[in-house]
Amino acid sequence: MEVTVNTTDQVTVFVIRGSVDGLTAERLLAVMDEQVNGGATRLVADFSALEYTSSAGLRALLSTVKRARSLGGDLRLAAVRPQVLRVLDLSGFTSILKLYDDVPAAVSSYA
């Protein structure tokens, strides 16, 4: 899994490539935590290149959503692939997270 961080219009975008699983979820969480610790609370996860997630990935997402929302911000998802979307849906995450078709739409949602 690769994760890169960039900032657009004061929104922090995590671009995640590959698979988030029991081996990689902690690293993703650490990257997101570092940004929140640095004051970033308007967050977007770009899932366009995320091929797979398990419950480990869901834990990292939920932990970050809780932190961001407690600080008045949020973590929103962009471009979720169908099979990852199915996992989010089965877990009830599609009703508690905001999802957008693409990164520009997710970034604009904070405007």
Partner 1 sequence: MAATPASVTRRVEHPARLENLGLFLGFIDQACAEEHIDSEASFALRLAVEEVCMNLIRHGYAGLEPGPIELDFEVDAGVARLKVCDRARPFDPSQAPAPNLHDDAMHRPIGGLGWHLIKQLMDRVAYRSDAQRGNELILEKKFQRH
Does position 91 interact with partner 1 (CB under 8 A)? The reply is yes
Nearer to partner 1, 18 or 104 (CB): 18
Does position 69 interact with partner 1 (CB under 8 A)? The reply is yes
The closest of 49, 43, 48 to 102, measured between CA atoms, is 48
Nearer to partner 1, 92 or 104 (CB): 92
**C-alpha span between 31 and 68 (Å, rounded):** 14
One character per residue 22-61, x = contact with partner 1 (rule: CB under 8 A):
xx----------------------------x-xxx-xx--
Nearer to partner 1, 23 or 30 (CB): 23
The closest of 86, 35, 17, 38 to 58, measured between CA atoms, is 86
**C-alpha span between 105 and 99 (Å, rounded):** 9
